[in-house]
Structures are given as C-alpha cells and as structure tokens.
C-alpha cells in the first residue's frame, strides 16, 4: 500500500510532552510479514524505559517507532497464511525495538508474532482488546507456566498495584485461588480488593518477618525484594520473578543454597514467546469469566503525546490505551 501514515518515530530520549507525530511511509509488505491496520495498543512500562534511556543502546534500531504490542486487522497478508480482515494481536519479539512497533496507523508484522483473536473475544471493543495482549499474556504465563497455579493455591502478588498486578489478581481470583496482594500505597488497597484480592498488605519491605505465607508468589518488584518473597513460601512453593518495579535488575551476592528455601522453587517469566495456543486459551478465559481489563485512560491516536505524558507523570492505575476510532 503506497502512501504515508502518521506515526511516532524517535531517535533519542523523548519525554511525552516533547513527542510529535509525523508523516512516514507506510511500510511495504515483504516475505513472511503482513501489513496490519492498527486499531489500538496499550502502553507498557518497558516503552517508558525505551523513551527514557534504552533508546541510546546499540541494539535499538534508530529511528524506531516504539510499541511492543497492538491489535488491528490484517490489511495485506502478503505470502502469510493470514486472511485480509482478520482481527489480530501482535507482541514482542523485537517489536518496537529492532523493528517498527505499534505507535503508528499501520504496522508491518512478522507472521510469527501475529495471533488471531478468537471469535469468543472479537465482540470486545478495541479499547478493551488493546489492553490485553502483552499484559494478559505475561500474567497468564507467569501464573500457569511459571507458577502452575491451581484453584487450591494461595497466591502472593508482590507489587500488585500496576497494570500487570491487577491482571494477575483478576485471573487468579477468577480461577478460585486465594489472593494476597501487596502495594506500596494505601490509596490502592480498595482497587486491589475490587479486582479480587482477598487480603491486601501494605509492603514495608519485610513480608516474611510479618508472617505472610503462600504456596505461590509472583514477584513484580524484582530483585530488590526477591529474597524476602522467597521467605514467604510454604514448603513446596514456587516463586516466579516477572517484574522490575523496584528498579533493580539483577541479584547481587545471592546465595542460592541458603537463599532458596529447601523444597521451594524459583523461576522467571519472559513474555517473548507467545503462541496461538496460549493466546486462544487466555482470550477464551477472559470471555468465559467476563473479565474487563483495567483501563486507566483511553486516548485517540492523535493524542498519543498526552497519553505518553500521563505515563511519564505516573500516578495512574491500570493500562493506558490508545485507539484509532
């Protein structure tokens, strides 16, 4: 499809208030890739990191259109197995980092990174669908591949007052698990209860000494609190490290012999490997349980700079989404 499209294309550190949409060429279809008419996308913490500093790293293509996920309709399937008009979602695999992402009216996506949205979920509005792919896939993978969560489990979600946290609380509650959620701010307690937390704990950094205990623990603050979270597991428990809200990315002087309690397990989850099978399962679960994504704010695409400014400022709860209708 010849012509130009509006997009946010950046080459250096970019604050939301400075971001400007520009006209760039609509990408041409190439073997193994399909052109998607974008209908919506959610903003992610990792995109904030990209705009703040990661953009300077050598492995980031420049200029780059950010955006690690999105939803839309196949416009030109090229030589892929997709059919024009199919509703799809796409995420990760270098999207918005090594190839142009979703902050654009059109997106060229490798078929391996694109997944059909099953019929059961197709009735959801684009603003709800836009909040699902990355956040629900990460929650789903952490809970079921990482933690092997079962209805009989008590789950601890540490750092639950973020988009991913609310989603894991919501899914685990729908499954029937007992959920203990932690937050660092009193003002988020009621919201976490609304999403299904049975107990909400104000996190002072030491949950294990306070006697918090669970079969499974999802660590969203990351290495900063991981050691303490491991101390909250009952024998046979599993901890999955998925987030880095604490701003510390790696473990320093961690002694796995003493650090991981006897009979307990430590794993991690990286949202880079979605499959159609898993996306089908999670969309079906969302539809079956009538789960509504926690949308913090929804912006039309021409107000993307305002959406990014809100992301910069913080203080929002849930997922910021951008739509094109």
> 129-148 mask for ligand NAP (x: CB under 6 A)?
---------x----------
Segment interacting with ligand NAP (CB under 6 A) among 7-15, 18-26, 82-90, 265-273? 265-273
Q: Does 314 bind ligand NAP (CB under 6 A)?
A: yes
Q: Which of 102, 127, 154, 161 binds ligand NAP (CB under 6 A)?
A: 161
Choose the binding region for ligand NAP from 83-91, 102-110, 189-197, 243-251 (rule: CB under 6 A).
243-251
Read off the tokens for 1: 């499809």
Q: Which of residues 93, 96, 101, 163 is near ligand NAP by CB under 6 A?
A: 163
> Which of 7, 88, 121, 164: binder of ligand NAP (CB under 6 A)?
164
Yes or no: say if 34 and 76 are a contact pair by the CB < 8 Å rule: yes
- Taking the least distance from each CB to ligand NAP, the nearer of 163 and 293 is 163
Say if strands 295-300 and 214-219 run parallel, antiparallel, or are unpaired: unpaired
**DSSP letter, residue 209:** T
Using rule CB under 6 A, residue 181 touches ligand NAP? no
Contact 27, 108 (CB under 8 A): yes
For residue 170, state whether it binds ligand NAP (rule: CB under 6 A): no
- Closest listed residue to residue 156, CA positions, set 203, 114, 120, 109: 203
Nearer to ligand NAP, 77 or 243 (CB): 243
Q: How far is the CB of 244 from ligand NAP (least distance, A)?
A: 4
Smaller CB distance to ligand NAP: residue 27 or 42?
Answer: 42
Q: Which stretch binds ligand NAP (CB under 6 A): 1-9, 15-23, 156-164, 232-240?
A: 156-164
Q: Which listed range, 41-49, 144-152, 207-215, 297-305, lies at the site for ligand NAP (CB under 6 A)?
A: 41-49
Stretch that binds ligand NAP, among 162-170, 173-181, 209-217, 250-258 (CB under 6 A): 162-170
Q: Across the chain, where does the E strand assignment appear?
A: 4-7, 22-25, 33-42, 69-76, 87-91, 106-110, 114-116, 154-158, 178-183, 199-202, 214-219, 233-241, 265-268, 295-300, 319-323
Q: Supply the minimum distance, in Å, between the C-beta of residue 137 and ligand NAP.
A: 8
CA distance 239 to 260: 10
* Binding to ligand NAP, residues 57-116 (CB under 6 A): none
The answer to whether the beta carbons of residues 284 and 120 sit under 8 Å apart is yes
**Does position 271 bind ligand NAP by CB under 6 A?**
yes
Nearer to ligand NAP, 37 or 45 (CB): 45
Number of chain positions touching ligand NAP (CB under 6 A): 23
Q: Which stretch binds ligand NAP (CB under 6 A): 13-21, 76-84, 160-168, 277-285?
A: 160-168
Query: What is the rounded radius of gyration, in angstroms, for the C-alpha atoms of the chain?
Result: 20
CA distance 91 to 129: 13
Question: Min. distance of Cβ 75 from ligand NAP in angstroms?
Answer: 27
Round to whole Å and give the CA distance between 13 and 30: 30
DSSP state of 260: S
CB 307 within 8 A of CB 323: no
Can residue 273 be called a binding residue for ligand NAP (CB under 6 A)?
no
Q: Is 85 exposed, middle or buried (0-12, 13-18, 19+ CB in 10 A)?
A: exposed
Q: Which residues neighbour 243 within 8 Å (Cβ) at sequence distance 6 or greater?
A: 159, 162, 164, 165, 219, 220, 221, 222
Q: In whole angstroms, what separates CA 312 from the centre of its chain? A: 17
Interface residues with ligand NAP (CB under 6 A)?
Answer: 44-46, 138, 159, 161-164, 184-185, 220-221, 242-246, 269-271, 314-315
């Amino acid at each position: 499809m010849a012509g130009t499209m509006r997009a946010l294309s950046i080459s250096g550190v970019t604050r939301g208030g400075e971001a400007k949409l520009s006209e760039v060429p609509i990408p041409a279809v190439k073997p193994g890739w399909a052109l998607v008419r974008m209908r919506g996308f959610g903003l992610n913490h990792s995109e904030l990191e990209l705009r703040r500093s990661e953009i300077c790293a050598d492995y980031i293509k420049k200029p780059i259109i950010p955006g690690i996920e999105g939803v839309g309709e196949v416009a030109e399937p090229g030589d892929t197995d997709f059919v024009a008009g199919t509703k799809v979602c796409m995420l990760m695999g270098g999207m918005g980092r090594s190839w142009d992402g979703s902050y654009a009216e059109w997106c060229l996506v490798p078929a391996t990174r694109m997944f059909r949205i099953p019929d059961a979920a197709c009735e959801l509005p684009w603003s709800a669908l836009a909040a699902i792919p990355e956040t629900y896939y990460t929650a789903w993978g952490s809970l079921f591949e990482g933690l092997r969560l079962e209805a009989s489990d008590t789950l601890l979600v540490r750092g639950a007052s973020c988009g991913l946290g609310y989603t894991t609380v919501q899914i685990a509650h729908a499954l029937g698990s007992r959920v203990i959620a932690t937050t660092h701010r009193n003002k988020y307690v009621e919201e976490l209860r609304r999403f299904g937390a049975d107990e909400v704990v104000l996190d002072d950094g030491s949950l294990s000494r306070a006697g918090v205990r669970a079969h499974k623990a999802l660590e969203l603050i990351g290495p900063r609190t991981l050691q303490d979270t491991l101390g909250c597991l009952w024998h046979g428990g599993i901890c999955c490290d998925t987030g880095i809200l604490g701003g510390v990315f790696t473990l320093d002087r961690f002694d796995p012999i003493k650090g991981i309690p006897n009979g307990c397990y430590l794993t991690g989850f990286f949202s880079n490997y979605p499959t159609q099978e898993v996306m089908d399962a999670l969309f079906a679960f969302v539809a079956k349980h009538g789960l509504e994504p926690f949308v913090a704010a929804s912006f039309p695409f021409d107000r993307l700079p305002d959406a990014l400014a809100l992301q910069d400022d913080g203080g929002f709860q849930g997922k910021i989404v951008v739509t094109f209708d």
